[in-house]
Chain A
Amino acid sequence: MARVKVLKTYKIYIGGAFPRTESGRYYPLYNNNKDLIANICLSSRKDFRNAVVAARAAFGGWSSRAAFNRSQIMYRMGEMLETRKQQFIEELLMQGANAKSAEQEFNNAVDRLIYYAGWCDKYQQIFGTINPVASSHFNFSVPEPTGVVSIMADENSSLIGLIDAIAPVIAGGNTCVVLASESKPLCAVTFAEVINSSDVPGGVINILTGKKDELHSYFSNHMDVNAVVYYGNNTTMIKSIQENATNNVKRVFIYNQKRENPEEFQNPFYILDTQEIKTTWHPIENIGVGGAKY
């Protein structure tokens, strides 16, 4: 008799734990042959709010961690992802990818994580400036993370779209709440397991599954969210997100580029989007003659 397989329950990821949605609701996910793959959590407003609380609580620690340490943790995420190659490829196949595209997407995802891991302690040197003010002051500008970022990830991709959405945001010291692709949510939940085993502090990345139609207004309305990121081109939803964002002057980023070029989402300016520039002034004592002569 064949062994009965143990099926995986796909849950959400909030504050470093894997709860079921508080809503108790789910939606069935089918493969191309209309076979049921899994029941996926339909996250609610309350789940989102819990996730924001977790993200806010994690922000102080994550943003003030040494950039080098953030880099190591992100590299560790890449390592952990690599070791689960088979699992992710199976999930990509279940969600309609072919063997070649699944492998390609997986490889790109690992490489993308490593790419952004490397930026953690470098983008400040690219985007920071020393400003030669005319008065007797030392003056410099550095990028700092915007804060809690809510993200609605690309609908058309299960893994690489998720990595593109998360990596630049956390590399820059932000914390985030991510809504996975509604039609391809499997890799997001499994990626939460990667996060959970990579020394990423709980709350830095929170992952929800559910419907964008139901959740986008909460993602853009919440008063303790500093920036909202949306991947896609639903113009009605974009307008609604942009309008809601005004209630606390959220920064809004809409990315609707096509993924034809695999490196489209690979550059440090994506980190800069969720950064604030801080400028610091301090007087320079100017007693004595001229400059240093030797």
Chain B
Amino acid sequence: MGKKTTNSLDFTSGWAYAPAPEDTKHIQLKKQYDLFIDGKFVKPTKGKYFETVNPANEEVIASVAEADENDVNKAVKAARNAYQKVWGKMPGAERGKYIYRIARLMQERARELAVIESMDGGKPIRESRDIDIPLAANHFFYYAGWADKLNYAFPNRKPKALGVAGQIIPWNFPLLMAAWKIAPALACGNTVVLKPAETTPLTALKLAEIIQESGLPEGVVNIITGAGKTGATLVNHPDINKIAFTGSTDVGKIIQKAIAGTSKKSTLELGGKAANIVFDDAPIDQAVEGIINGIFFNQGHVCCAGSRLFIQENVADMVIQKLKDRMETLIVGNPLDKNTDIGAINSKAQLNTINNYLKIGKDEGAELYQSSCSIPKKGYFCRPTLFLNTSQSHRIVQEEIFGPVLTIQTFRTVEEVIEKANNIPYGLSAGVWTDKGSKIFNLTTKLRAGVVWANTYNKFDPTSPFGGYKESGFGREGGLHGLSAYLEF
């Protein structure tokens, strides 16, 4: 594709940024974290711990307890007890006030949470500071207000809490996902056992400290750390009423199967492979920004990432050139540096997965392009990557890579791009770029996806429902629709 440049940008001189590291002295981290059960931090029954590593420098940050069956039992028992004796009986208005308190304490400790989030997960401090942490606090704030207003959300019905919710969250937005899970569950009168991802447990454990500080009745929220086995034990626990899971489609299917034949309810937020569609009448420079944000936000560790770019053929060369130019300006490196655009890949395992897909893409005959930026020698990093000359049948087009890797296809007609965009098992999100309103609504109604961003991408808000069609899962988180995941009628 096009060799000509649209701009003659000078990347070689005058572009060096002085380091702007975020201060880490103020954060309070312990060497070792226990399980948060029944309002107290308790040692795991078997005394086993695992280490959580800073993916940007491969240094151990802390060791974290591994919950086994006994610990899961204890946590579920505490949650059941709290549900029956305290939380299930508490008037909504009072529940709401506790949730407001949690929101406020998160806001007060926002900077500390942001720094820890970036250290533990590798995301740029700009994102954790400006997006993850404020959104997480806002989520608690939003749902706090629902606690005493549930009857208005469901006309002619009498909503009731489900009981104990088992919640399993991923490593890409650790604290935000904890908030998405815990806030609506509590507002609806449920109690919670939450398991954070094993590579990013720290902010959830800091949230446990905040919950302790808030005076929330003991056992209403229990946070137990561990890996897949701990999660499976939680899913299979007989005294759980609801499973809420965010993660891969493969694991989601295992969970859906595990609870078949039981009375457990479930919501699943699974994988995605979103189409981001650019028409020739789009505001091209804004679209380029949207493409960059769509795929490189959070290193591409985003289930709704715009990982399949479709460009209308007559503007493809120009858009690709602009995209390459813009990619050259992206700074990959220390997540705690305020200039960093792309931080560290979350774990060694994920870096291996991404690198494997880069190989698959090349083997399939796609053309790989990476920006020429330097990456740190230590830590897990991946250059922003494009694949050109891809087709629908390529694995890199069909499968979720969960990294900073964008596949590019072109199209000529609206019918063609709708067909291509929908021809995939996933249906979580999509993007459309055009200045024509009628075309936007044609696309947004025909794209089979739960969230459609028109002339924007990767926007989130507590009032806005999020969740997938098809194999991207079912149920919604956020907004009024997010309430029904934690209620029965």
Contact = CB atoms under 8 A, between A and B. Distances in A.
A235 B459 CA distance: 42
Given A141-B481, A249-B252, A277-B450, A235 B465 contact: no
Contacts of A238: 261
A146 B474 CA distance: 10
B357 to A, nearest CB: 22
Contacts of B260: 239, 242-243, 245-246
B470 interface: yes
A281 B270 contact: no
Interface string A209-237: 00000000000000000100000000100
Main secondary structure of the interface of A (DSSP, over half): mixed
A249 B470 contact: yes
Contacts of A141: 464-465, 479, 481
Interface in B450-481: 450-456, 459, 461, 463-467, 469-474, 476, 479-481
Contacts of A134: 138, 461, 463
A156 interface: no
B156 interface: yes
A268 B456 CA distance: 33
A133 B465 CA distance: 11
Interface stretch (A35-43, A68-76, A111-119, A124-132): A124-132
**Residue of A129, A249, A251, A282 ringed by the most chain B CB atoms within 10 A:** A249
Contacts of B249: 249
A101 interface: no
A64 B446 CA distance: 9
Nearest to B157: A269
A238 B470 CA distance: 21
A283 B461 contact: no
Interface string A39-66: 0000000000000000000000000100
Given A131-B479, A269-B489, A282 B440 contact: yes
Interface in B275-305: none
B355 interface: no
A133 B478 CA distance: 11
Interface residues of A, number: 36
B185 interface: no
A141 to B, nearest CB: 5
Interface of A: 64, 126, 129, 131-135, 137, 139, 141, 144, 146-147, 226, 235, 238-239, 242-243, 245-249, 251, 267, 269, 276-283
Contact of A139 (B256, B461, B469): B461
A282 B451 CA distance: 11
Contact of A281 (B138, B157, B256, B456): B456
Given A135-B461, A282-B454, 10 more contacts: A131-B464, A133-B461, A147-B448, A239-B260, A242-B259, A246-B257, A249-B253, A269-B489, A276-B474, A280-B452
A129 B464 CA distance: 9
A269 B472 CA distance: 23
A131 B465 CA distance: 8
Contact of A277 (B157, B446, B481): B481
A129 B466 contact: no
Nearest to A243: B260
Contact of A249 (B270, B440, B444, B445): B270
